[in-house]
Amino acid sequence: MNAMSERIQKVLARAGYGSRREIERWIEQGEIKVNGKVASLGDQISLDDRVLIRGKPVSIKQSERSRPRVIAYHKPVGEVVSRSDPEGRPTVFEHLPRIQAGRWIAIGRLDLNTSGLLLFTNDGELANRLMHPSHEVERTYAVRVKGEVTPDILRRLETGVELDDGPAAFERIEDSGGTGLNHWYHVTLKEGRNREVRRLWESQGLMVSRLMRIAYGSITLSRNLREGRWMELPPFEIGRLYQSVGLSYKPPSSKREEPRRRRPPHTRRR
């Protein structure tokens, strides 16, 4: 290998073909070949190597030249965070813009009945770091709760309760107002376990009647971004995301490469 070679999962993740975890799983399943041979974990590749993912050639050189992009999407209730759904339900990927090289990678997930901010990027390494628990990236949700929420309940939710998959707690809970069945709270977590927000409230005998993610790391859900629409993040916001997880970011050098910020948020395709 030449001096420019790197671990295969790192190169393919950075090029936007998947997160490191996805790529490692494909390698273990024998679905990636390099120069005609089935790849193994730990293999190194260069930009000149011929790579097939599930039988399809990928252009690493072209992907490496693509500028890093991040878009914010306002997910409605009823869409699944999957590229395809066996039940025929709409997926978030159906409404994203086309990308020349690599593919859009979802940064985290939202379940079917949760709406709000969902970030996508063409940089798998950025996605991997923003999702990894070791980086403790904050996720903030607006929650409408049914039932009486007492000070003792709030204290337990902040100090920690035992769930099926281990202890969990909110970093912060803020009362957002409302009365009766329309009482809202803003809660913040530093991890993204499956249905964790709902399960925390349910552990106290309460039910979440509505759940919306309003922030992920330094990015907040814009009030101008309506459900089912997406908008591209400007370089300074992308740079903050990279910096927050210890990655370097080179902003676009030419005006042609800069995101078109004057256009209104994009609507879903019909």
Length of the chain: 270
In this structure, are 77 and 49 located in the same domain?
A: no
Q: How far is CA 230 from the centre of its chain?
A: 14
In this structure, are 11 and 124 located in the same domain?
A: no
In this structure, are 39 and 146 located in the same domain?
A: no
Tell me the residue range of the domain where 154 lies: 138-216
* Pick from 169, 139, 133, 170: nearest CA to 245: 133
Last residue of a domain, one of 65, 89, 114: 65
Model pTM score: 0.74
Residue at 259 is within a domain: no
Residue at 255 is within a domain: no
* 3-class DSSP state of 176: strand
The domain spanning residue 17 has which CATH number? 3.10.290.10
Last residue of a domain, one of 65, 94, 110: 65
Provide the pLDDT for residue 179.
Answer: 75
Residue at 112 is within a domain: yes
In this structure, are 47 and 95 located in the same domain?
A: no
In this structure, are 125 and 232 located in the same domain?
A: yes
DSSP string spanning 8-77? HHHHHHHTTS--HHHHHHHHHTT-EEETTEE--TT-EE-TTS-EEETTEEE-HHHHHHSPP-EEEEEEPT
In this structure, are 80 and 59 located in the same domain?
A: no
Last residue of a domain, one of 46, 65, 84: 65
In this structure, are 239 and 223 located in the same domain?
A: yes
Active-site residue list: 111
* 3-class DSSP state of 124: helix
Residue at 269 is within a domain: no
In this structure, are 28 and 58 located in the same domain?
A: yes
Structurally, how many domains does the chain consist of?
Answer: 3
Provide the pLDDT for residue 181.
Answer: 75
Provide the pLDDT for residue 162.
Answer: 94
The domain spanning residue 181 has which CATH number? 3.30.2350.10
Provide the pLDDT for residue 42.
Answer: 82
Contacts of 137 (CB under 8 A, 6+ apart): 130, 131, 190, 216, 217, 244, 245
In this structure, are 235 and 121 located in the same domain?
A: yes
pLDDT tens track of the chain, all 270 residues? 343 577 888 788 777 787 778 888 899 999 999 999 999 988 888 878 888 998 888 877 665 556 789 999 999 999 999 988 899 999 999 999 988 767 899 999 999 999 999 999 998 889 989 999 899 999 999 999 988 899 999 999 999 999 999 999 999 999 998 877 778 999 999 988 889 999 999 999 999 999 999 999 999 999 999 999 999 999 999 999 999 999 988 776 544 444 444 344 555 444
In this structure, are 212 and 225 located in the same domain?
A: no
In this structure, are 210 and 148 located in the same domain?
A: yes
Residue at 260 is within a domain: no
Residue at 225 is within a domain: yes
In this structure, are 10 and 120 located in the same domain?
A: no
Residue at 256 is within a domain: no
